[in-house]
Structure 1
Amino acid sequence: MPSAIILGGTGLLGRATALRLAASGWAVSVTGRDPERMPAALADAGVVHLRSDRRDPVALAAALRDGADLVVDALCFTARDARMLLPHLDGVGATVMFSSKAVYVDGDGRHINSVERPRFGAPVPEDADTLEPAWDGLYRSREGYRRNKVAAERVLLESGRPVTILRASKVHGVGAALPREWHFVRRVLDGRPVVLLAHGGRGYDHPTAAVNAAALVETVAGHPGTRLLNAADPDVPTGRDIARIVAETLGHDWAEVLVDGDEQGGHPWDVVPGIELDLSAATALGYRPVGAYAETVRPAIEWAASFGRTPPWASEVDESDFDYAGEDAFLRRR
C-alpha cells in the first residue's frame, strides 16, 4: 500500500487530496496543529491525523522521519518553509507543493492585483514571467504572499529533488473557509429577483476545483519529477455562467442585469481581461479532471446554502458586497 503524508491536510486542497488518495488505496496521514479540526470525512475514510506544526523543525522531522511515497505540502509559503522541508525528502518518492497562479505577471509586469489588470492575451503557460521573489518571509499580505511563494518555488525547484509545483487558481470545493460562490448563493437565499453583473458578466478567472487539483496530485505521484504545472478546471466559465449555475443548482429564477462597466455588479470572477491557465503540460502528463466547473462546484454550492444566511464564515463576509439598497437605486436610475 503506497503511503502519503499531507502537510496541512485539513484545509480545502489538503482534504480533497487526502480523500482522493484514500479512495485509491493509499495509506494517508495529514498533519495539523489541532486534532479537533480534523474533518469527519477524512477520519471516516481511514485518514490518520498527525498532530504537528509545519513550522516547528522538530515536529516536521517527526512527521516525516519514516519517509513516504508521496509528500504534499499545502503549507509552504516562504523560502524558509521550503528549506525546512528539503532535509526530510531523502526517503520520499515524490513531493508536491501547492502554489498559486497569483505569481504570474504579463509582459508589462502587471499581476492579478495590479491597479491595471494584466493582459496575457492567451492561456498562461508555466514558463510565463513571475514576480520577483521575496526572501523576507512576510507573506501575510497580497504582495508578500505571491512574492514569497515565488521564493519558495525556487528553493524547491533548484534543490534537485523530484518536487512538482502546482499553481492553482481560484479554488472551490466543499469545506472552503469563505466560498467565493457565496456572492451568488446568499443572493439566492435572500430571494433577490435580479442579479447585477459588471462588465456584462463576461469577466472570468480560471477556477480550480479542489477535487481536480487532487486528481493532478495523484497523477504526479505516478510520475515523480521536478517541474511546474498549472492546476485548474478543464473549462473557464464567465461570471454570468457561474451566476446561472448557482441559481439553477438552488432552483432560483432571477433577471440578469448586465452592467456595462463596474459601477455595480462586481463579483469574484469579474476579471477583464480574463485569465486562463494553459493546462497542456498537465494534460500531457496524464491529468484527467474529475469534471468541469459546473459538475464539481454543485456540491459546494449546496453545502454553502445548507447553512442559511449565517454560515461559519459570516464574520469574514464584507457586507458591502450585499448592498442591495445601492443595487436597487442603480436600477431605478437606468
Structure 2
Amino acid sequence: MPRALILGGTGLVGRATALRLLGGGWQVDVVGRNPARMPPELTAAGGKFIAADRADQGQMQATLGAGADLLVDCLCFTAADARSLLPLAANSASTVVISSRAVYVDAAGHHVNSDVPPHFTTPITETQPTLAPTTAIDYRSREGYGANKVAAEQVVLESGLPVSVLRASQIHGVGASPAREWAVVKRVLDGRTALLLAGRGAGVVHTTAAANLAALIETVAARPGTRVLNCADPDAPSALEICRAIAEHLGHEWEEILLDDTAPAGLGRTPWDSPHPILLDTSAATALGYRPAGTYATTIAPVVDRLVEAARNGQPPVDDGYFAEYFDYAAEDAFLAGLRLRFPC
C-alpha cells in the first residue's frame, strides 16, 4: 500500500486530497497541530492524524519516518518553508507543493493582488512571466503573497528533486475559508427575490475545485518529476453562471438585474468579479494524464450543502468583513425602488 504524507492535511486541499487517495487504496497520514481539526470523514475513511508542527524539523523528520511515496505540502508559503521541505522531499518518491495563480504578472507587471487589475489577453500558461521572488515582504500581505510563492517555487524547482508545483486559482470546496459561495447562499436563505450583478455578471475568474486539485495530485504522484502545472476547473463560469449554478442547486429563483457602468459603485459585487478574464491554461496537466473530477457546478454541491446546514444549525460562516460588501440589502432595495418608479409595471 503506497503511503502519502500531507502537511496541512486538515485544510481545504489536504482534506480533498486525503479523501481521493484513501479512495484509491493509499495509506494517508494527515499532519496538523490540532487533532480537533481532523475532518471526521477522513478518520472514517481510514486516514490517520499525526500531531506535528510544520516548522519543527525534528517533528517533521519523525513524522516522515522511513519515507513516503507521496509528500504533499499545503503550507509552503515562503522560501524558508521550501528549504525546510527539501530534507523531507529527498526521502519521498514524489513531492507536491501547492502554489497559486497569484504568481503571474501581465505585460504591465500587474497581478491579481495589484491595485490595478491584471489584463491577460490569453489563457495563462506555465511560461507566463511571474513576480520577482522576495523574502523581504510579509507573505500574508497583498504584495507579498505571490512574490513569496515565487521564491518558494524557485527553491524546490532548483533542488533537482521530483517536485511538482501546482498553481491553482480561487480554490473552492468543503473547508474553504472564506467560502466564497456564501455570498450567494446567504442571499438565497434570506429569501432575496432579486439578484443584482455588477458588470452584467460577465466577470470570469477561473476557479479550482479542491477535488480537481486532488485529482491532479494523484496524477503527478504516479509520474514523479520536476515541473510546474496549472490546475483549474474544466469550465470557467462567469459570475452570473456561478450564481445561477448555486441558486439552481438550492432550487431558488430570482429576477436577475444585470447592471452596467451607470449603476452605483459597489452595487452587485460578487467574489468572482474581474474587468478582464483570468483563465488558466491546463493543457500541460491534461497531457500528463490528468482528468478532472468535475465541473464547477458538480463540484460545488457539497460545500453549498454544508453552508446551508451550518446556517440552519446557527453556525454560519464567520463574517470578518470579507462578505460585508455583498449584503448591502438597503442599497439594493433603494436602487430597485428607483427602477420601479422609472419603469412601472
TM-score (norm 2): 0.94
The alignment status of 1:311 with 2:315, answered yes or no, reads yes
**Match for 1:83: what amino acid?**
R
Superposed displacement of residue 196, structure 1? 0.6
The alignment status of 1:221 with 2:221, answered yes or no, reads yes
Equivalent pairs counted in the alignment come to 334
**Match for 1:314: what amino acid?**
V
| Deviations 1:151-171 (CA, angstroms, capped at 9, x unpaired) | 000000011000000001011
Superposed displacement of residue 315, structure 1? 3.8
Contact 2:10/2:39, CA 8 A, preserved across alignment: yes
Aligned pairs for 1:48-127 within 5 A: 48-127=48-127
Report runs of 4+ in structure 1 exceeding 4 Å deviation. none
**Superposition RMSD on alpha carbons, in Å?**
1.3
Contact 1:194/1:255, CA 8 A, preserved across alignment: yes
The alignment status of 1:277 with 2:280, answered yes or no, reads yes
What is the SS of the residue equivalent to 1:96?
Answer: strand
The corresponding residue for 2:268 is: 265
Distance 1:6 1:288 in 2: 21
Distance 1:266 1:311 in 2: 24
What is the SS of the residue equivalent to 1:92?
Answer: coil
Contact 1:65/1:88, CA 8 A, preserved across alignment: no
The corresponding residue for 1:325 is: 330
Superposed displacement of residue 113, structure 1? 2.3
What is the SS of the residue equivalent to 2:50?
Answer: strand
Superposed displacement of residue 112, structure 1? 1.1
Superposed displacement of residue 56, structure 1? 1.3
Aligned pairs for 1:1-334 within 5 A: 1-136=1-136, 138-261=138-261, 262-308=265-311, 310-317=314-321, 318-334=323-339
* Residue range with higher mean Cα deviation, 196-205 or 172-181: 172-181
What is the SS of the residue equivalent to 2:167?
Answer: strand
Distance 1:174 1:253 in 2: 24
Contact 2:269/2:325, CA 8 A, preserved across alignment: no
> CA, structure 1 residues 314+89, in 2 after alignment: closer, same or farther (shift >3 Å)?
closer
Contact 1:118/1:273, CA 8 A, preserved across alignment: yes
Contact 1:80/1:137, CA 8 A, preserved across alignment: no
Contact 1:78/1:137, CA 8 A, preserved across alignment: no
Distance 1:59 1:313 in 2: 33
List gaps (5 residues or longer) in structure 1. none
Distance 2:4 2:84 in 1: 19
Distance 1:185 1:113 in 2: 26
Superposed displacement of residue 88, structure 1? 2.2
What is the SS of the residue equivalent to 1:252?
Answer: coil
TM-score (norm 1): 0.97
Superposed displacement of residue 312, structure 1? 4.7
Distance 1:85 1:308 in 2: 38
* Residue range with higher mean Cα deviation, 230-239 or 255-264: 255-264
Superposed displacement of residue 3, structure 1? 0.6
Distance 1:269 1:81 in 2: 30
Distance 2:65 2:252 in 1: 52
Distance 2:235 2:161 in 1: 32
Distance 2:274 2:59 in 1: 41
Distance 1:87 1:180 in 2: 36
Superposed displacement of residue 137, structure 1? 6.6
What is the SS of the residue equivalent to 2:311?
Answer: coil
* Residue range with higher mean Cα deviation, 278-287 or 295-304: 295-304
Distance 1:14 1:316 in 2: 24
* Residue range with higher mean Cα deviation, 33-42 or 88-97: 88-97
> CA, structure 1 residues 137+24, in 2 after alignment: closer, same or farther (shift >3 Å)?
farther
